[in-house]
Amino acid sequence: MDNELEPLTEKEQAKLESRITEIQERQIIEKVEDHEVVEIPCEKGKITIGPPTLTRFEKARIMGARALQLSLGAPPFIEIPEDARISLDISMVELEKRVIPITIRRVLPNGDYQNIPIDYFE
């Protein structure tokens, strides 16, 4: 089993040349700099950017921020469950009940964004 490369056939060479020409002749798309960032309005139950549920990253960010607040002495929004040992347990229950007054901002690559209250998510 030798690993030497075999030379291209004329047909393969012609195909490769046409592909190279096609790539070189492509239109170059430049970034448009004059786009004004727009807030996309959020009606009740209508989320236009991203999935209709919280992503795992959004959940982690919310629970982490709320757990930090609780550990620094912020009052909880719910009755503390008996099985809650740490502030993260309390923040998890608060997130499940959707009692945390927080808004998620989802941003598109062009800068447009939508602010979504947490109770709009499924």
Mapped onto helix, strand or coil, the DSSP state of residue 105 is: strand
Average pLDDT of the residues in 50-67: 94
Using pLDDT thresholds of 50, 70 and 90, give the confidence band for residue 32.
Answer: low
What pLDDT shows up at residue 43? 81
Q: DSSP 3-state helix, strand, coil percentages of the chain (rounded to 5)?
A: 35, 10, 55
pTM confidence score: 0.67
- In order of their start, the domains of the chain are 56-120 (3.90.940.10)
From residue 39, alpha-carbon distances to 42, 45, 62 in Å are: 9, 17, 22
